[in-house]
Structure 1
């Protein structure tokens, strides 16, 4: 059997043979706000890393705020000497980058699986949750769906402009939910799909959504939760790059227009045992109801993960298919937790609350902890929306309240790690306060 390093080395050497014009490879990882950070390595140096040479980056790079700055969080950042931490290459993720001006490659790196993982790295948080579930004999199968908008490449006084439709510049003339809009934007959409597939991502369905220039991409179902989240993260990166190449700006911003629907991250999750039996379908679907109850119980405490910034909270309530309470229902898109119609083998939940710009590793980790909590507690959920349209638990609708609700929740602290919860909540608190440090024109109009 080949060793781990020899397999990686073979991957790098095969890549070099297939892409002899590539001189550099971007080694990338997702930070807490869901942005990539990393280093650009000469491809010959990548061979040394694959062969076992250490790969180190600053530990605190994971803690960057939304604008890239560092906040004082406990003893991190300004009182720890800014130490390096080991990372490893993620096998199977070395792929060509086709949207840059020069030939490049990219490869995911992570601290999970190293001798000293970073407890607040998003991928490590998810890895620990999945490992715990596997020890319990629970094997999730996961599929992400992501909504996004296309805008014109150029902003107008800092504001987004509608994507230029080849047939009309009038945003009201863009057919919503129409197959025709897929045809109008076919060149850029086809390139996005082909580029994602070149990254190893299984794209299944492309849909024109309700907003002007809004689309949804569905990914295939995977029995590897880490890989499913990798796909969501990598798709956002490649899609932004491809859009710029075509003269557009792709954005996963949660609520770019007040008058149009926001963009969400929908996550389908089913749970199987080692023999491949659907755990949610057993005993007349009683485990499904328990899992739903657990998700709903923890949902109000997970809002800083599902709505990770000020704009994401704007998406909640008052728009199409965006819930205002922690609720569930069968075939009901107004519910946070929807149960799609399916046969027992494919019975699953669809978690619909997270915004498209949320961190996919953390969203999936929070959902799984909710499902786990529900199976352990074995309690019945509140009435579904199909029986009571007013059913549901309230959840926080602004960041500081949401952070307070998250930080002291004992099940989350145990399920996601107390160290992670403290670091994440402080990161979100500081990011929100930094965002508020600007007086906008409306304040002068109202209060001057």
Structure 2
């Protein structure tokens, strides 16, 4: 069996043979707000890293705010000397970038698996949750679904404009679910799907959603939770790049229009034992009910993860299929936790609350912790919406309240890591306060 270094080196050399025109590779990782950071490496230097040369980036790059600035969080950023931290290459993620003007490659990097993983790195947080579940004999199978909007490439005084219908050149300003919209925007959608496949992502269903210029693309199910979250992160990056190439903007912003549906990140999760049996389906599906109860119990304390910014809270309860309370139901898209109809082998939950711009590593980690907690606590859930349309428990709908609810929740501190919870909550608090430090024109209209 090849060593880890030998496997990586073979991957890099094969890539160079297949893409001789690529001179640089972007080494990238996702920070707390869900943006990629990293470095651009000459391809020949990548061979040295693959062979075992150190790969170091500033530890505090993970802590960047939504606008890229640094916040004082404990001793991080300003009292720690801004130290470097080791990263490693993620095997199987070296792929070509075909949406840039020049040939380029990209590859994921992570602190997970190094001698000193960064406790608050999103991928490391998820890796720890998955490792703990595997030790308990629980093996998740995961699939993400992501909604997004297409806009015209040019903004109008900073505001988005409807995407132009390529056939009529009229604005696609009518909300509908017509499949003809897939045909009209076929060129860009097909390129998005093919580019995602070139990144190794298993693209399945493409849907025209209700909002004007809104679409959803689904991914295949994976028994590797880290790779499933990798797919979601990489898809957002490639989709934005492809859209620009075609004269559009693609955005995963949660609520770009108040009058139209927001964009969500739906996550399907089933749990299996080592023999491949669906744990949720055992004992007349009693574990499913326990898992749902755990998700709903922790959901109000995970809102800074599911709604990671001011705009994301606007999506909740706005138009269609966006819950206002922690609730569940069978085949019910108004529920936060939906149980799709399926056979026992494929029984799963669909977690529908997260916004499309949430961090996929953290969203999946929070969902899995909820399921884990439910299986351990063995409590019955509240009534499903199918039995009581008023069923549900309240959750915070404003960031500072959400941060307070998350920071001192003992199960989250234990299962996600106290250091991560403290760092994440302070990052969200500081980002929210920074967002407030601008007077909007509306304030002058109302109060001048």
* TM norm structure 1: 0.99
Alpha-carbon offset, residue 56 of structure 1: 0.1
Alpha-carbon offset, residue 155 of structure 1: 0.2
Distance 1:175 1:358, change over 3 A: closer
Deviations 1:306-352 (A, max 9, x none): 00000000000131000000000000000000000000000000000
Distance 2:117 2:63 in 1: 14
The DSSP-based 3-state class of the residue aligned with 2:158 is: coil
State whether residues 291 and 371 of structure 2, in contact with CA within 8 Å, keep that contact through their aligned partners in structure 1. yes
1:184 aligned residue:
184
State whether residues 172 and 213 of structure 2, in contact with CA within 8 Å, keep that contact through their aligned partners in structure 1. no
Distance 1:5 1:337 in 2: 42
State whether residues 5 and 52 of structure 2, in contact with CA within 8 Å, keep that contact through their aligned partners in structure 1. yes
Deviations 1:43-96 (A, max 9, x none): 000000000000000000000000000000001000000000000000000000
Distance 1:239 1:174 in 2: 23
Deviations 1:185-229 (A, max 9, x none): 000000000000000000000000000000000000000000000
State whether residues 233 and 360 of structure 2, in contact with CA within 8 Å, keep that contact through their aligned partners in structure 1. yes
2:291 aligned residue:
291
State whether residues 25 and 43 of structure 2, in contact with CA within 8 Å, keep that contact through their aligned partners in structure 1. yes
Alpha-carbon offset, residue 177 of structure 1: 1.1
Alpha-carbon offset, residue 183 of structure 1: 0.2
Distance 1:400 1:78 in 2: 24
Alpha-carbon offset, residue 172 of structure 1: 6.4
Q: Any stretches of 5+ residues in structure 1 without a counterpart?
A: none
State whether residues 300 and 394 of structure 1, in contact with CA within 8 Å, keep that contact through their aligned partners in structure 2. yes
State whether residues 173 and 213 of structure 2, in contact with CA within 8 Å, keep that contact through their aligned partners in structure 1. no
Matched, 1:111 2:111: yes
State whether residues 209 and 215 of structure 1, in contact with CA within 8 Å, keep that contact through their aligned partners in structure 2. yes
Alpha-carbon offset, residue 167 of structure 1: 3.3
1:51 aligned residue:
51
Deviations 1:112-141 (A, max 9, x none): 000000000000000000000000000000
Distance 2:321 2:167 in 1: 29
Alpha-carbon offset, residue 170 of structure 1: 4.8
The DSSP-based 3-state class of the residue aligned with 1:171 is: coil
2:155 aligned residue:
155
Deviations 1:270-303 (A, max 9, x none): 0000000000000000000000000000000000
Aligned residues: 448
Distance 1:407 1:232 in 2: 26
Deviations 1:381-440 (A, max 9, x none): 000000000000100000000000000000000010000000000000000000000000
Alpha-carbon offset, residue 175 of structure 1: 6.4
Alpha-carbon offset, residue 176 of structure 1: 1.6
Deviations 1:96-121 (A, max 9, x none): 00000000000000000000000000
Distance 2:150 2:175 in 1: 14
Alpha-carbon offset, residue 168 of structure 1: 3.8
State whether residues 175 and 181 of structure 1, in contact with CA within 8 Å, keep that contact through their aligned partners in structure 2. no
Distance 2:158 2:175 in 1: 26
State whether residues 174 and 181 of structure 1, in contact with CA within 8 Å, keep that contact through their aligned partners in structure 2. no
Runs of 4+ in 1 over 4 A off after TM superposition: 169-175
Distance 1:206 1:447, change over 3 A: same
2:447 aligned residue:
447
Distance 1:172 1:89, change over 3 A: closer
Distance 1:88 1:172, change over 3 A: closer
State whether residues 166 and 184 of structure 1, in contact with CA within 8 Å, keep that contact through their aligned partners in structure 2. yes
Distance 1:38 1:172, change over 3 A: closer
Distance 2:393 2:219 in 1: 30
State whether residues 328 and 338 of structure 2, in contact with CA within 8 Å, keep that contact through their aligned partners in structure 1. yes
Distance 1:172 1:214 in 2: 10
Distance 1:392 1:338 in 2: 13
Distance 1:433 1:173 in 2: 34
State whether residues 59 and 118 of structure 1, in contact with CA within 8 Å, keep that contact through their aligned partners in structure 2. yes
Alpha-carbon offset, residue 178 of structure 1: 1.1
State whether residues 165 and 174 of structure 1, in contact with CA within 8 Å, keep that contact through their aligned partners in structure 2. no
Distance 1:422 1:20, change over 3 A: same
State whether residues 149 and 215 of structure 1, in contact with CA within 8 Å, keep that contact through their aligned partners in structure 2. yes
